[in-house]
Amino acid sequence: MLPLFHPLMQRLDSDFDIDQDDVGFESQDKDIIPAKHAYEVDFTVYSPEEIQGHQDKQIAEVSNILGQPPEATAILLRHARWNKERLIDQYMEKTDEVLERAGLGDTADAHPPRLERIPGFVCDICCEDDADLDTFAMICGHRFCVDCYKQYLQTKIKNEGEAARIRCPGDGCNRIVDSKSLDLLVSANLKDRYQELLTRTYVDDKDHLRWCPAPNCVYAVDCRIKDKDLMRIVPTVHCECSHFFCFGCSLNDHQPAPCSLVKKWLKKCEDDSETANWISANTKECPKCHSTIEKNGGCNHMTCRKCRNEFCWMCMGVWSEHGTSWYNCNRFEEKSGHEARDAQARSRQSLERYLHYYNRYANHEQSAKLDKDIFLKTEKKMTQLQNTTGMSWIEVQFLDSASQALQQCRQTLKWTYAFAYYLARNNLTEIFEDNQKDLEMAVENLSEMFEKPIDQLQGLKVEMMDKTAYCTKRRIILLDDTAQNLKEGKSLVRSLVLVTCTNQPLGQWKFNVTLP
């Protein structure tokens, strides 16, 4: 197993007392195994049952304090966006108003929601005026025919995913459709969806809870990172479903680049996609014989089938010249000011600079996908090999570890290029690029071993296991260093703008963009 941080290690007791929310959080710290590295954050994964449990527990507690039945308390809490303290304060101060606003007031008791026929009524939504039209209005008096009201609620629930805070259809009316009215108007087949959405609002309303964005995943993650810290911490969390994602923005793990840089970068890639498209294409020409080459594995060491030319996929340079000196390939050599004086050349250079980073970014993204394909194929072949050589399933697991490490490292490498694109040159950037180079070299070595024919893989086992461990180690070092500097550089990072300034303070990241 890779020496990775595992969420199970820091799972709290299932009866984790979420009631204590902000005040009580420190008291829970003792239960959490502290994060080991600068790039790791504390978090907890919750199942749907646990989330329901937290809700029930809060409802029971607030129900006791307010002396309201649990059903009504649930409505009040949802209406208050699960802000328990504020609800209790406001309830104590102006009970009637709070009940009224959540649709639970005396008037609601005295006049339970019902359909009415009103002589001379014209529905403002469908313009019908039939005498036998059933109509509905809440206490705000905005009356519509029941068909329109139902259609409106159905659209909100089904198409727009709203539940706890659907507003009256009347123009500018802020009245929330209360649950009793919903019971009357929502058709049976929508009730399940409605209930589900109600449960979801609990997680949606809490800043420290987020749904895992993996498709069909039902878990939620609890992480107490503050929005203002997202500039200096990249909070990658690991769901029970095995998905790594960023708690700050829900995108796939993008360490070491902070959320705002990632956003900028993705926007840039989107904007520049037409110019950059050819680069990310899966085929290139052999630099020697110009026959079309398709990349079919994750490794950058290419051999042309036709002329046997060996070259590097990234820079198209001759492989023998930089098989062991990867630095030629990971760093964009800034060209001298001579050429840059010409405005045309400058814009070309800026595009070249972008393409340099984008090329490497896209390459790792693509390779990570290809590495996965290769593992699926290898897995199949290893099954056959097991049958012929007697190697056990356990004995071939080193390939699984290698494949996972490759994907994880490529994911990291990918984002190091987006990060580096925005870095202004200073000594820290040099160190960063050295780390990047080390990791990249290790990854390419492992990737190359990975592509060896099946009959050779058995003999490479020990070497591959070493390389896997080494890749993981290099990745941790890179992430740790970067995260450490990011944390310390907090005050500066926010206000930095300029690329060309040469008196940069040492020991802090300097970006050539303004970050929020």
Q: Which residues are known catalytic residues? A: 299
Q: Which of 115, 198, 269, 315 is close enough to bind Zn ion by CB under 5 A?
A: 315
> Which residues have a Cβ under 8 Å from the Cβ of 136 and sit 6 or more positions away?
113, 115, 116, 143, 144, 145, 146, 149, 181, 184, 185
Q: Which of 48, 53, 105, 170 is close enough to bind other proteins by CB under 8 A?
A: 170
Beta carbon of residue 22, minimum distance to other proteins (angstroms, whole number): 28
Beta carbon of residue 315, minimum distance to Zn ion (angstroms, whole number): 3
The tokens for 511 are 């970006």
Beta carbon of residue 155, minimum distance to other proteins (angstroms, whole number): 5
Cα gap 225→316, rounded to integer Å: 43
Beta carbon of residue 151, minimum distance to other proteins (angstroms, whole number): 5
Q: Which does 26 bind (CB under 5 to 8 A by kind): Zn ion, other proteins, none?
A: none
Are 486 and 41 spatial neighbours (Cβ–Cβ below 8 Å)?
no
Report 321-340 residues binding Zn ion (CB under 5 A): 329
Report 123-142 residues binding Zn ion (CB under 5 A): 123, 125-126, 140, 142
Question: Which stretch in 53-61, 122-130, 321-329, 416-424 sits in contact with other proteins by CB under 8 A?
Answer: 122-130
Cα gap 432→412, rounded to integer Å: 13
Cα gap 471→264, rounded to integer Å: 28
Burial class (CB in 10 A: 0-12, 13-18, 19+), 330: buried
Query: What is the full DSSP assignment across 51-67?
Result: HHHHHHHHHHHHHHHHT
Beta carbon of residue 358, minimum distance to other proteins (angstroms, whole number): 17
Q: Would you say how long the chain is, in residues?
A: 516
Cα gap 79→193, rounded to integer Å: 18
> Is 148 a residue that touches other proteins (CB under 8 A)?
yes
Cα gap 45→238, rounded to integer Å: 8
Q: Which does 172 bind (CB under 5 to 8 A by kind): other proteins, Zn ion, none?
A: other proteins
Question: Which stretch in 144-152, 256-264, 279-287, 457-465 sits in contact with other proteins by CB under 8 A?
Answer: 144-152
Report 53-112 residues binding other proteins (CB under 8 A): none
Beta carbon of residue 497, minimum distance to other proteins (angstroms, whole number): 19
> Is 127 a residue that touches other proteins (CB under 8 A)?
yes
> Is 483 a residue that touches Zn ion (CB under 5 A)?
no
103: left (phi over 0), alpha (psi -120 to 50) or beta: left
Burial class (CB in 10 A: 0-12, 13-18, 19+), 180: middle
> Is 281 a residue that touches other proteins (CB under 8 A)?
no
Question: Which stretch in 8-16, 165-173, 377-385, 430-438 sits in contact with other proteins by CB under 8 A?
Answer: 165-173
Evaluate the CA torsion angle 257, 260, 261, 267 in order and state its sign: positive
Task: Name the nearest CA neighbour of 478 among 411, 421, 424.
Answer: 411
Binding interface with other proteins (CB under 8 A): 124-127, 144, 148, 151-152, 155, 159-160, 169-173, 270-271
Binding interface with Zn ion (CB under 5 A): 123, 125-126, 140, 142, 145, 148, 168, 170, 173, 175, 212, 214, 217, 219, 239, 241, 243, 246, 248-249, 259, 286, 288-289, 304, 306-307, 309, 312, 314-315, 317, 329
